[in-house]
Amino acid sequence: MQALWGERRRIGLWRRLWLALMEGEKELGLEIPDAAIAELRAHLDDADLDKAADYERRLRHDVMAHIHHLGDQAPAARPFIHLGATSAYVTDNADLLLMREALLLLLGRIGAVLVALGKQARRYRAVPCLAYTHFQAAQLTTVGKRMTLWMQDFALDAEELLNRIATMRFRGVKGTTGTQASFLELFEGDHAKVSELDNRVARAMGFDAVFPVTGQTYTRKLDAQILAVLSGIAQSTSKFASDVRLLQHEAEILEPFEGEQVGSSAMPYKRNPMRAERMTGLARFVIELEGNAAHTAAQQWLERTLDDSANRRLVIPEAFLVTDALLVLATNVAAGLEVREETIAEHVAGAMPFLATERLLMRGVKAGGDRQNLHEVIRGHALKGGKDLLDRLARDPAFKQLGVRAKADELDPAAYVGRAPQQVDDFLDRVIPELMRSIQAAAPAAAPAEVKV
């Protein structure tokens, strides 16, 4: 991801765009010598960034600086470079190429998160644990079921990514205000050739679809839509990481801890959820970046204004870089989650007497008791604590006279998890495989990434 947003990569794309334009123009009838194309093709990847910077200091224009530098390297091409085009031809189209590739990288990374969490969810599909509402112990769920909640959020992000990638359009060859006037001039009024040039260059650069209309730039609404997807990924990561932080406090589920890792410089016994904490911090950054793209889209005047430029140069690369880091961290934490089944079981056991009271209440009413009376009796005893709750209830005259007391099988946690294991199975075997096939068809498998800190 870092290589993608470097200067060298961007200038390489600009030069390929100039080549595609020149080739398209020649094929459609403009007089451009073969030597011009051959020289340009020979200098796709050897831009001297220092020399281009010298030009930029004088010209105060990055695209013109690179045109001059390329003209020095390929003198035969010099007269024809950028013919009919405006800066946005290279800058916007290159951004679109970079963003599409970056979205594909993120898609592969989300696939890796889903694989890692899917393994954990399957392993712990039927392990009962406390479910929390208001971060207060509520009823039971399973460890695996909770993991599918995290997975589903990432799966929704993956669907958004797939949609965004599939519907992405090229800015194409549109000219200064998007009317293609300069190209119509070059092709002497031949509309078909101008339209064909637009499509031909897009295809040469790997895009099937072109924005049918643009101003000078492609609509900045697309940037906002893309940033919204990245923000969505950050939201899912943050929710996952926050849950891990809460569960690590309960010592139920812990993020991975390396053999020699130090928790705290002052308190050697500590084991902090530092990766999950970092994830929430970085996620906040990406979520806030989304606002920049939204405001840029909202603030564009007429056919274009330049207030987008400096903002986009920061926001887009940073959003992709940080989202990439988030997904690497999420994969690392998901794959290495330490699930402490014994602690989880202890916490469940502590809550079982309370949970059993609901069934006790139902049976009490069936045996002829008054629901409201029995509810009050249970409430009174429950507020005094849980350890011997069921014994106290059995001794309470209200239940004693009904002959109702807790049965052994009412204390089996597995009886309180509802359909959680079956929901995990359905999610993992029905929903996820289909999504994974779409991901694998669109994106190469994510290269493994190491978390170094």
Partner 1 sequence: MTGVLVQSTLPLPLLRRGKVREVYEVDAATLLLVASDRVSAFDVVMREAVPYKGAVLTQLSAFWFKRLKSVMPHHLLSADVDEIIARVPALAPHRDQLHGRAMLTRRAATVPFECVVRGYISGSAWAEYQQSQTLAGESMPQGLVESAQLDPPIFSPATKAEQGHDENVTFDHVVQRLGRLTAERLRGASLALYEAGRDYAAKRGIIIADTKFEFGTTPDGDLIVIDEILTPDSSRFWPADRYQPGKSQPSFDKQPLRDYLAGLKKQGQWNGEAPPPALPDEVVKATSERYRDAYRRITGTELE
Residues that bind partner 1 (CB under 8 A): 115, 118-119, 122-127, 142, 144, 421, 425, 428-430, 433
In whole angstroms, give the CA distance from residue 8 to residue 13. 9
Per annotation, catalytic residue among 61, 191, 249, 264: 264
In whole angstroms, give the CA distance from residue 71 to residue 77. 7
Least Cβ distance, residue 4 to partner 1 (angstroms): 25
CA angle 280, 282, 284 (to 5 degrees): 70
Least Cβ distance, residue 126 to partner 1 (angstroms): 4
C-alpha distances out from residue 6 to 2, 138, 175, 316, 421, Å: 7, 50, 26, 12, 46
Q: What φ, ψ does residue 329 adopt, rounded to 5°?
A: -65, -40
Q: Which is nearer to partner 1, 291 or 433 (CB)?
A: 433
Please say if 134 is a catalytic residue. yes
List own/partner pairs for 431-435 with CB under 8 A and 24 or more apart.
431/155, 432/114, 432/118, 432/151, 432/155, 435/114, 435/155, 435/158, 435/159
- In the chain, the amino acid numbered 347 is H
Q: Which is nearer to partner 1, 205 or 435 (CB)?
A: 435
Copy the structure tokens of residue 297: 């889209």
Give the alpha-carbon dihedral of 413, 415, 417, 422, to 10 degrees: 130
Q: Which is nearer to partner 1, 125 or 200 (CB)?
A: 125
Q: Do 231 and 287 form a contact (C-beta atoms < 8 A)?
A: yes
In whole angstroms, give the CA distance from residue 12 to residue 97. 12
Least Cβ distance, residue 117 to partner 1 (angstroms): 13
Least Cβ distance, residue 317 to partner 1 (angstroms): 32
Q: Which is nearer to partner 1, 45 or 338 (CB)?
A: 338
Please say if 238 is a catalytic residue. no
Q: Do 313 and 307 form a contact (C-beta atoms < 8 A)?
A: no
In whole angstroms, give the CA distance from residue 439 to residue 108. 7
Q: What φ, ψ does residue 193 adopt, rounded to 5°?
A: -70, -40
Least Cβ distance, residue 425 to partner 1 (angstroms): 7
- In the chain, the amino acid numbered 297 is A
C-alpha distances out from residue 120 to 22, 46, 72, 142, Å: 53, 47, 58, 12
Least Cβ distance, residue 95 to partner 1 (angstroms): 34
Q: Which is nearer to partner 1, 129 or 194 (CB)?
A: 129
Q: Which is nearer to partner 1, 279 or 428 (CB)?
A: 428
Least Cβ distance, residue 331 to partner 1 (angstroms): 13
Least Cβ distance, residue 129 to partner 1 (angstroms): 11
Q: Which is nearer to partner 1, 125 or 193 (CB)?
A: 125
Q: Which is nearer to partner 1, 184 or 431 (CB)?
A: 431
Q: What is the largest CA-CA distance in the chain?
A: 105
Q: Which of 211, 178, 14, 216 shows the shortest CA–CA distance to 95?
A: 14
Least Cβ distance, residue 443 to partner 1 (angstroms): 18
Give the alpha-carbon dihedral of 427, 430, 431, 436, to 10 degrees: 120
Q: Which is nearer to partner 1, 127 or 161 (CB)?
A: 127
Per annotation, catalytic residue among 68, 134, 236, 265: 134
Catalytic site residues?
Answer: 134, 264
